[in-house]
Structure 1
């Protein structure tokens, strides 16, 4: 997609009028999450965001509809091979309906890809391309902030 994990993002700002002509950032001033437009997928509708840690790309989140999960997963299998980990879980929707949801992970030395078939909503999936070192650093910083806040109680 043209986004380098672990590096500072270098994407253009989206035009204020008219459709995006290629990948661009909708909110360039944000220091934590950049919303993307102009994704290269023409047949899969999704939202996308870049998550930053210390100004570097820690993760890219793609949120397609659940109905596109199998097709998106097959693209990943074609490109990266079978996932290194998979898990099937039963989930319960707010309405009480039950469904299964697959989580698949491709883990390398520096990068991981995680797909969750049903994420936050029963009709949405998520695909996360993550820079492992930056994600671990961000998680450690968050835990320290929680401990600091708890010690002030």
Structure 2
């Protein structure tokens, strides 16, 4: 149930962000914004939040969400509107807005949704190497 409520939270907030950014576009209907939101949230939640986030850091997951949302908003909004309008600035604003929400959403997921004893491997990069006092061991002393 935690995963469903997290998905619905992401769906509602992403819809509000996309509606705010894309509301003034002529030819982009409410149904188009809903379809764009549904596709973006479904792919982002499955790939970014459930697959990538447990295996990497929050920064990498936000960067992946930024790339996904900027590409998806640009191409889908251009495809949904008949005409030669370009949505480059609007897709960038939408991607920055969605990514800033995702930063806090990932903290919410890690704190409230994901289990701490997850079976997914955690790739950490703070390795400790072996430390020793001797660079050249005295082998003759050890044989006695």
Computing the radius of gyration from Cα coordinates, the structure with the larger value is 2
Identify which of structures 1 and 2 has the higher relative contact order when contacts are C-alpha pairs closer than 8 Å and 6+ apart.
2
TM range (shorter): under 0.3
Question: Structure 1-normalised TM-score?
Answer: 0.23
TM-score (norm 2): 0.23
Larger % of strand: which? Answer: 1
More helix by share: 2
